[in-house]
Amino acid sequence: MSDSALSGAGESMIGAPDDMDMRRFRAWFQMDAAHSHKWRPAAREWYAFVAGDQWSSEEKAALESQQRPAIVFNRSLSIIKAVAGSEINGRQEIHYLPRTLDDAGVNEALTGASKYFADQAGAEDEESDAFQDSLICGMGWTEQRLDNTENPEGDYVEDRIDPLEMFWDRSAKKRNLADARRVCRVRKIPISDARDMFPGFTDAELDATWADAGELIDPNKTVEQKRVRDGNYDAFSLDDDRSEVTLVEFQWWEKERYFIAADPATGQRIELSAKEHDVLSGRLSKLGVQLNSASATRKVYKRAFIGSVVLEVSTPPTGNTFSYACITGERDRNAGTWFGLMQLMRDPQKWANRWLQQALHIMNTNAKGGLLAEEDAFEDQRDAEETWARPDAITWLRKGALSSVNGAKVQPKPQTGIPAGYYQLLEFAISSIRDVTGINLELLGMRDANQPGILEAQRKQAAMTILATAFDSLRRYRKVIGKQRLYFIQNFLSDGRLVRILGRDGTERVIPLMRDTTVGEYDVVIDDAPSAPNQKEANWAIISQMLPLVGPMMTPELWLAVLEYSPLPSALVEKLKTLIPAQGEASPEQKQQAMVALQSALAKIKVDETTAAKNAASAAQSHASAEKTQIEAARLMRQPIGIPALQ
């Protein structure tokens, strides 16, 4: 991460730090770190489970000593991916509505600019990663800033942040930490980057060794002590990336008193700080004029970078809000922290692994053939050992070895077998992995039963209803992102740079982004993106039912508008648009040709849908026939098919 990127668009030093500031920052950190100290090791374990590392080091050592494998069949990842994939297929867009009396429509320039900058920054991918973090550990974080590394005018950047780097106000209770008074980020950066960011400070002053939350490597050692520990003075350069320092960043808000007054010259409303109010009031009093004003309070946001000393105090790059945005999962009221789906799936996944491993151990240790025989049971023991396993040989026994009144002298070794109900217990653990989350087989795409498509769609919708709280947090998070992006556009990005936007007519055009087109107050509205795959399918299902009724009344222009919401590729839709000239220029013959082309395209979609439905029905019938044949064969052989299928 570059130096300019870290500094962002924040203002310069707003006050010289002192020892009181340092003591306050350290006290904040100690309180907030203590609040989340149990959540952090649990979050690491949740991430390990998703990655397939589901046995602790002690459990692995115990299994290895018994020569037993540490089996992991990772079913948790598919659950997480199913929910994360639903978010990707149903992404939402940010729209800006002007806050005016005439209730104007969406500001196309501002909305298009927001989408353009987000696309250039890969913001959708970063937000999806943060949402997946919230599903795993209960918290997902992103940072919004400007980066001057490649563009001197500044590029909008949105990055996903590791949740374990973040600390938050211990008194925050609302979703997405909406009521947090402060947030903190503790990270390790190369010492060369730290020197470039804050010149004039020593290496020891750049290193926050006091920020020990139990998650950092050697957090109590200075950069000099780490080099002594490694013992590589000759090969270990001070500019080597292995030489790192711990950097602490705090963002917080304070209440500030200000005054609202009328400008004596223009009569317009103005806002004055306490100092400005005193100066203006004193000047007017000398002229015999009394300043009419009312006092109020407001939030003032600040940011500080801290090593062993306070390095810089400034304002956040996003102005009057934190530059870090959070998505929270489910609330643990007693602990005051948050958790995701992984905490619910942890125990079922762990027990499924254990019981499957135990079943394999029982099978491995059971007797597989072999005999219990008395010494005088065979005529020739060596010959018996050689011929016993041969199906075409006769093994001779002494007379009476099989018919003795005291019992046979030769018996097969007994097999204990797997306890009754063990497989049912294993199946219960495996099915509980998805049951505890409320996610069904339809949402996972694993239902192999032949059921109507409407029923399957309804069951998918029922599963999404259970997950509605997670997506509600995502929607609230995107409102915060929209406000932050609006601040960047209005204050830094409206400098005449060219952006590509989509007009109401569906055509793209490049316009210069000027300040006069973005100034003002706007409401941030979150809406489903029309281009999202799930939204396209839902819209097209409704439109397909309406087409037979309104088809004869539709004009070619209206047909083109309908095609924007069809599952057809965008390139094909653009090609069809060229078949119809502008309104008023097309001849009747041209319109007739365009109508024929459009109807052919729609007919092709209908044929493809019908073919797909027939193929699905044929596949389901073949699967059912195969299952019937297998069951009939097993019945004729009078033996079990095998280990019951585990779902």
Percent of the chain whose predicted confidence (pLDDT) is above 70: 74
Give the per-residue pLDDT at 644.
44
Residues present in the chain in total = 647
Contacts of 507 (CB under 8 A, 6+ apart): none
> Poorest-confidence range of 117-131, 147-161, 448-462, 623-637?
623-637
Does the pTM exceed 0.85? no
Q: What are phi and psi of 332, to 5 degrees?
A: -95, 100
Q: Report which secondary-structure segment, H or E, holds 609.
A: helix 588-637
Letter string b/e over residues 426-456, b meaning 16 or more CB atoms within 10 A of that residue's CB: bbebbbbbbebbebbbbbbeeeeeeeeeeeb
CA angle 166, 168, 6 (to 5 degrees): 45
How many other C-beta atoms lie within 10 A of the C-beta of residue 43?
25
More confident residue, 534 or 173: 173
Q: What are phi and psi of 130, to 5 degrees?
A: -65, -40
d(CA 305, CA 3): 13
Average pLDDT over residues 427-446: 83
Give the per-residue pLDDT at 69.
87
Residue type, 548: P
Tokens linked to 314: 């400034």
Burial of 544 (0-12, 13-18, 19+ CB in 10 A): middle
Check residue 267 and give left, alpha or beta (phi > 0: left; psi -120 to 50: alpha): left
Place of tokens 């927001």: 114
Q: At what angle do helices 39-50 and 341-365 cross, to 10 degrees?
A: 60
The CA–CA distances, whole Å, from 118 to 86, 144, 149, 500 equal 20, 11, 18, 12
Q: Report which secondary-structure segment, H or E, holds 269.
A: strand 269-273
CA 295 to chain centre: 44
Cα dihedral across residues 544, 546, 548, 554: positive or negative = negative
* pLDDT, the chain, mean: 80
pLDDT tens digit string along 60-82?
999 899 888 898 999 999 999 98
The CA–CA distances, whole Å, from 146 to 42, 306, 330, 351 equal 33, 21, 32, 47
Closest CA relative to residue 540, chosen from 564, 565, 576 = 565
> Poorest-confidence range of 105-119, 322-336, 359-373?
359-373
> Poorest-confidence range of 113-127, 191-205, 418-432, 546-560?
546-560
Give the per-residue pLDDT at 349.
93
> Poorest-confidence range of 11-25, 142-156, 242-256, 464-478?
11-25
Half-sphere exposure of 164 (CA within 13 A, CB side): 18
Contacts of 542 (CB under 8 A, 6+ apart): none
CA angle 494, 497, 501 (to 5 degrees): 90
CA angle 30, 32, 38 (to 5 degrees): 100
More confident residue, 226 or 5: 226
Give the per-residue pLDDT at 261.
87
Residue 613 has pLDDT above 80, yes or no: no
Residue type, 492: F
pLDDT tens digit string along 40-51?
999 999 999 999
> At 179, is the pLDDT very low, low, confident or very high (cuts 50, 70, 90)?
very high
Q: Report which secondary-structure segment, H or E, holds 123.
A: helix 123-137
Contact 377, 401 (CB under 8 A): yes
Give the per-residue pLDDT at 638.
46
Residue 448's SS3 state is coil
d(CA 565, CA 580): 18
Q: What residues are paired with 143 via a beta bridge?
A: 159, 324
Q: At what angle do helices 453-466 and 468-488 cross, to 10 degrees?
A: 70
Contact 486, 495 (CB under 8 A): no
Closest CA relative to residue 506, chosen from 526, 530, 522 = 530
Residue 386 has pLDDT above 60, yes or no: yes
Burial of 577 (0-12, 13-18, 19+ CB in 10 A): middle
Q: Report which secondary-structure segment, H or E, holds 230.
A: helix 223-230
Q: What residues are paired with 510 via a beta bridge?
A: 500
Residue 512's SS3 state is strand
pLDDT tens digit string along 343-382?
999 999 999 999 888 888 888 777 666 777 887 888 888 8
Tokens linked to 21: 């500031």
> Poorest-confidence range of 97-106, 218-227, 543-552?
218-227
Average pLDDT over residues 495-516: 81
Give the per-residue pLDDT at 597.
65
Residue 136 has pLDDT above 50, yes or no: yes
Q: What residues are paired with 184 via a beta bridge?
A: 167, 250
Closest CA relative to residue 512, chosen from 522, 501, 521 = 501
d(CA 295, CA 643): 77
Contact 430, 352 (CB under 8 A): yes
How many other C-beta atoms lie within 10 A of the C-beta of residue 112?
21
pLDDT tens digit string along 267-322?
788 888 888 888 888 888 888 888 888 888 999 999 999 999 999 999 999 998 99
Give the per-residue pLDDT at 387.
82
pLDDT tens digit string along 211-264?
865 444 444 555 555 555 444 444 445 555 568 999 999 999 999 998 898 877
Q: What residues are paired with 498 via a beta bridge?
A: 512
Give the per-residue pLDDT at 581.
53
Q: Across 315-466, where does the E strand assignment appear?
A: 324-328, 330-332, 337-339, 371-373, 410-412
> At 202, is the pLDDT very low, low, confident or very high (cuts 50, 70, 90)?
very high
Give the per-residue pLDDT at 538.
66
Give the per-residue pLDDT at 190.
93
